[in-house]
């Protein structure tokens, strides 16, 4: 009964207080940000990793090269480095914001004590939009690992030079400004709606083009197939550095990656992404605890911390009851956003 009451309370608050006036802000300032700080403060000396198996498997519900793939492979390398396994095998199953991989994982590896699964905010949004038969209740979360912000970019030849140009263009002709990003319903899609609303355009006129990875978004921009692209900084950084793309802004409250925040440029558009690791619903609690201990040890390994620095990801450790409550709030908020932004699958 308590859970149901809290969910209704969140929905009522979101609609009644004008929370959608600053739609993405809740993602950046509420549960994940507060709990990340608390979790980081609570972590002490690096733990020793239990040896889980000779070979572990990590299922990545996305194509190679994207954020989940980068995170999953970095985690696998750190698990090996920390001594939790001798080797890690990776299985990529892309499509529909991770929901295809989610369904296959739940069916094939739901009881497998040696197989981990990557997920995060993109999947939460995809579940809220698509309402698939297999949702995130079919897996059990182990830990939230990282948080990240979104970068909006345009082709170097674009007439859009800054946030004011972008807002003016969206407001003048949203249908003529196709936005490229990750899977439908994911964090990129939601942020496209947030940008449109912040620019005082009509979100229902948004033309959103989903792609399986950041490299495809870059190509869509360069080829002229999209006017604006949204992705994590790590997926745009090479194209920005080479001069193929121009970064317009970042979805944080303050400047990040050497780029100005939209909020600092007068556009109230704030949102954060997060990624985490899960295991099967049928995995015993004692084994899940061992897996969590191994993952925690891996996040202290030098290869993991080096990857965070290289990709400019924020450590965002969260586990247990706090993680379960955070995910429930995240899903509820995503459902509200899908409805009020009129997002379409």
- Number of other residues whose CB lies within 10 A of the CB of residue 223: 9
Non-local CB neighbours of 235 within 8 Å, separated by 6+ positions: 65, 66, 67, 213, 214, 215, 217, 218
Whole-model pTM? 0.79
Residue 194 token pair:
């947030």
Is residue 275 within 8 A of residue 120, CB to CB? The reply is yes
Interhelix angle 320-340/31-42, nearest 10 degrees = 160
Position 27 pLDDT exceeds 80: no
- So where are the chain's domains? 38-147+274-340, 148-265
**What CATH number belongs to 38-147+274-340?**
3.40.190.150
Number of C-alpha atoms within 13 angstroms, CB side, residue 293? 14
Reported confidence tier of residue 174, pLDDT bands at 50, 70, 90: very high
Handedness of CA 138, 345, 21, 9 (dihedral sign): negative
pLDDT at 259: 94
**What CATH number belongs to 148-265?**
3.40.190.10
Better-scored residue on pLDDT, 214 or 287: 287
Residue 119 main-chain phi, psi, to 5 deg: -165, -170
Position 33 pLDDT exceeds 50: no
Mean pLDDT over the full length of the chain:
87
Instruction: Give per-residue pLDDT as tens, 179-224.
Output: 999 888 888 999 999 999 999 998 889 999 998 888 899 999 999 9
Q: Do domains 38-147+274-340 and 148-265 have the same CATH topology?
A: yes
Reported confidence tier of residue 9, pLDDT bands at 50, 70, 90: very low
pLDDT at 44: 56
Instruction: Give per-residue pLDDT as tens, 289-307.
Output: 999 999 999 999 999 999 9
């Amino acid at each position: 009964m308590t859970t149901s009451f809290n969910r209704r309370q969140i929905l009522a608050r979101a609609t009644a207080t004008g929370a959608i006036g600053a739609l993405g802000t809740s993602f950046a300032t509420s549960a994940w940000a507060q709990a990340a700080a608390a979790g980081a403060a609570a972590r002490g000396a690096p733990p020793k990793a239990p040896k889980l198996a000779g070979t572990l498997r990590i299922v990545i519900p996305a194509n190679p090269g994207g954020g989940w793939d980068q995170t999953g492979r970095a985690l696998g390398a750190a698990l090996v480095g920390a001594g939790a396994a001798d080797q890690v095998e990776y299985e990529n199953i892309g499509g529909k914001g991770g929901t295809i991989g989610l369904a296959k994982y739940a069916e094939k590896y739901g009881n497998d004590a040696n197989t981990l699964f990557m997920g995060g905010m993109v999947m939460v949004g995809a579940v809220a939009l698509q309402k698939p038969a297999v949702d995130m209740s079919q897996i059990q979360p182990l830990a939230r690992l990282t948080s990240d912000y979104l970068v909006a970019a345009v082709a170097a030849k674009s007439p859009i030079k800054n946030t004011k140009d972008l807002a003016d263009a969206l407001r003048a002709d949203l249908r003529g400004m196709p936005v490229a990003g990750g899977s439908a319903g994911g964090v990129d899609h939601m942020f496209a709606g947030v940008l449109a609303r912040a620019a005082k355009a009509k979100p229902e006129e948004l033309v959103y083009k989903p792609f399986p990875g950041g490299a495809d978004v870059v190509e869509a921009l360069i080829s002229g197939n999209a006017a604006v692209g949204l992705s994590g900084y790590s997926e745009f950084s090479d194209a920005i550095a080479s001069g193929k793309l121009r970064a317009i802004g970042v979805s944080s409250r303050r400047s990040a990656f050497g780029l100005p925040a939209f909020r600092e440029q007068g556009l109230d558009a704030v949102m954060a992404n997060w990624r985490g690791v899960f295991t099967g619903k049928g995995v015993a609690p004692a084994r899940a605890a061992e897996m969590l201990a191994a993952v925690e040890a891996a996040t202290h390994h030098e290869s993991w911390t080096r990857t965070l620095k290289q990709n400019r990801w924020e450590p965002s450790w969260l586990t247990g009851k706090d993680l379960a409550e955070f995910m429930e709030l995240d899903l509820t908020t995503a459902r509200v956003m899908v409805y009020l932004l009129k997002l379409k699958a």
